[in-house]
Amino acid sequence: LMFCLFFCGPGMAAAGTDAYLDLADQLYNGGLKGVKRLAVLPFAAVESSATSKDSEMVAGRVYAALASRRKFKLADEVKTAAFMAGTSFRPEKGLEGGLGERLADDLDADGAVTGLFSDLGDNKLELKAVILRTSDGSAARSAKVVIVRDWAGAPVSAALEVAPGLRAEMRALARQ
C-alpha cells in the first residue's frame, strides 16, 4: 500500500540536468504538512547490474537538487551517511525496524527521501523517489523522472553522448 503512491506518481520529466530539479519540485509541490526536515537516504537499483557509484551519484544529486530549491531543511549529508552506515537499509523495505524513529531522534528528520532507479538503456535511468514520514513510515509524496547516467564510471557511450566532440578529439590524439 505504501508503494502505490511510489509507483503511481506523476509523469516523468524530460531527461537531462534539469530532471533532478524537476524531481525536487515534484517532491515539494506546495509543501507537506508535518514534513519540514528531510534526510536523503541511499537509492538502489532495481537491477543488480548497477554499482554503488550509481547509488551514490543519484543520492548526491537528489540532495543537491533539494538543497538548491531551499524548500525543505536537509539533515547533514555526512551525518546521514555515517548514520546509515550502521544500518542494513534497503529502499524497497521502507523505514522498517524502528529506522524512522531513529532518524527522527538522531538526525531530527521528520521525513526521509529514498527510492529506486532502473536502467532504460542508452545511459538513461528511470528514477522513482518517495518521501517517507519518519513518524509512521507512510509515503507522503512520490515523484518519477528520467535522468542521464553521465558520471565517471558510466559506460563509454555515455561520455560520448555527453561530449559529442570527444570521439573526434580522441581519434585525432590517437593519430599523433
Count CB atoms within 10 A of the CB of residue 112: 28
By the 8 A CB rule, do 146 and 129 touch? no
Statement: residue 12 has pLDDT above 80: no
pLDDT band at 157 (very low <50, low <70, confident <90, very high): very low
Lowest-confidence range among 6-15, 81-90, 121-130, 135-144? 6-15
By the 8 A CB rule, do 23 and 59 touch? no
The model carries a pTM of 0.75
Question: Strand 111-121 vs strand 37-45: parallel, antiparallel, or unpaired?
Answer: parallel
Cα(13)–Cα(9) distance, integer angstroms: 12
Tens of pLDDT along 112-125?
A: 999 999 989 888 99
Residue type (1 letter), 121 = G
- Residue 47's pLDDT is 77
